[in-house]
C-alpha cells in the first residue's frame, strides 16, 4: 500500500509514531480458489463478502496485534468528520475492515463490528480507499507525525466551523492579481486577524 511508505503517514511510521499493517482477506479462505465472496441469499446483483474469511482474519489480527475497536467502512455508517479523527486518535489500537462488492454478510457485522464509518453519500470501488482517508486524517493528529503540532491545529476543520484562509505565494502579482496588502505589511497582529476573518465560518 503506497501510503504506508510515502508522505506524512510514511514518515510517521518510519519515526515510530504509528504502526499500520494491512492484511489480505484471501489468505484466510478455506478453498483453493481463495474465494471471499458468494451470491446473496434472496437474489440480487453483485456478490457479498463471506463472514468466515473476515472473521478468521480478524481473529488473527487480534491474536497477533491485540484487541482494538473494530471499524467497518460502510455507506451505512456515520459520516466521518474531523471530530471522528480526534476521537479515534485517542485509541491505542483500531482495526479497520474494508468492505467490497455489494457488502458484507450481516452476521459478521453484528458479531464483530463496533462501529461503521462512511466518507459520504457516493459510491467507490472498495473500502480501502475510504480507510486510507480515515488513516491519513487520524495519523496527522498523533504527536510527532507532523513536524509542527500547530500544523494540524490551524488546518481546516480542526476548529469547528473554521475553514482554511486563502493562501498566496510568489510572485506578488500574477495575471494582474496582487497578493492582499495585509500579508505584505509585516504586521503580525493584523495578519492573524485577517486569517481569522477569512477562515470562513461554516
**Which band of pLDDT confidence, cut at 50, 70 and 90, is reported for residue 150?**
very low
pTM: 0.84
**Predicted confidence (pLDDT) per residue in 10-57, tens digit:** 999 999 999 999 999 999 998 889 999 999 999 888 899 999 999 999
Q: How confident is residue 202, by pLDDT bands cut at 50, 70 and 90? A: very low
Instruction: Give the whole-number percent of the chain exceeding pLDDT 70.
Output: 90
Confidence of residue 126 (pLDDT cuts 50, 70, 90): confident
Whether the predicted pLDDT of 112 surpasses 50: yes
Rounded to the nearest integer, the mean pLDDT of the chain is 90
To the nearest 10°, report the CA torsion of 93, 98, 99, 100.
-170
What is the grid cell recorded at 121? 453519500
* pLDDT value of position 68: 97
Residue 173 in this model has a pLDDT that exceeds 90 = yes
Task: Give the pLDDT of residue 199.
Answer: 82
Amino acid at each position: 500500500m503506497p501510503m504506508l511508505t510515502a508522505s506524512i503517514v510514511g514518515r510517521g511510521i518510519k519515526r515510530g509514531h504509528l504502526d499500520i499493517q494491512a492484511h489480505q482477506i484471501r489468505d484466510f479462505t478455506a478453498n483453493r480458489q481463495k474465494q471471499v465472496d458468494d451470491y446473496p441469499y434472496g437474489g440480487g446483483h453483485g456478490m457479498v463478502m463471506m463472514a468466515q474469511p473476515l472473521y478468521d482474519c480478524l481473529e488473527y489480527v487480534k491474536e497477533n496485534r491485540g484487541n482494538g475497536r473494530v471499524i467497518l467502512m460502510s455507506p451505512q455508517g456515520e459520516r466521518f468528520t474531523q471530530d471522528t479523527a480526534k476521537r479515534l486518535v485517542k485509541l491505542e489500537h483500531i482495526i479497520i475492515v474494508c468492505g467490497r462488492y455489494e457488502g458484507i454478510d450481516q452476521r459478521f457485522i453484528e458479531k464483530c463490528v463496533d462501529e461503521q464509518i462512511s466518507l459520504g453519500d457516493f459510491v467507490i470501488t472498495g473500502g480501502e480507499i475510504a480507510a486510507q482517508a480515515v488513516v491519513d486524517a487520524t495519523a496527522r493528529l498523533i504527536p510527532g507525525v507532523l513536524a509542527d503540532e500547530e500544523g494540524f491545529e490551524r488546518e481546516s476543520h480542526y476548529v469547528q466551523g473554521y475553514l482554511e484562509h486563502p493562501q498566496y505565494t510568489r510572485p506578488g502579482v500574477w495575471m494582474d492579481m496582487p497578493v492582499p496588502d495585509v500579508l505584505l505589511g509585516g504586521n503580525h497582529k493584523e495578519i492573524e486577524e485577517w486569517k481569522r476573518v477569512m477562515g470562513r465560518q461554516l
